[in-house]
Amino acid sequence: MEEFRKIAVLDNMVEAQILDSMLNEQGIPHVMRTYHDSAYDGLFQVSMGWGHVEATEGDRAEVLAILEELRARSEQKSE
């Protein structure tokens, strides 16, 4: 079994939840990791982003394509 690797940094929890749902629908194995640390009250999230998504190298391109599509749709809605 391939190891999971960091694929992309996620901007916020909403983006992470939507991406998680989209990857689950596609059957792509992945893990969401948050940078929140209760000892520092989320300080790392301010400077590093919400967290990141991990997946196998074999799924990297598909995860990035889905994330790009998600971000493009988000930008269109905010315009």
Domain span holding position 39:
5-78
Number of helices and strands in the chain (H, E):
3, 3
Q: Is 7 exposed, middle or buried (0-12, 13-18, 19+ CB in 10 A)?
A: buried
How high does pLDDT run on average in the chain? 88
Whole-number pLDDT of residue 57: 97
- The tokens for 2 are 């391939």
Whole-number pLDDT of residue 36: 72
Whole-number pLDDT of residue 41: 61
Whole-number pLDDT of residue 48: 72
We report the CATH number of the domain holding residue 13 as: 3.30.70
Total domains in the chain come to 1
Q: State the CB neighbour count (10 A cutoff) for residue 67.
A: 19
Whole-number pLDDT of residue 77: 79
Residues near 37 by beta carbon (within 8 Å), at least 6 away in sequence: 43, 44
Task: Give the pLDDT confidence of 59-70 residue by residue, as tens digits.
Answer: 999 999 999 999
Q: What is the CA radius of gyration of the chain?
A: 13
More confident residue, 16 or 38: 16
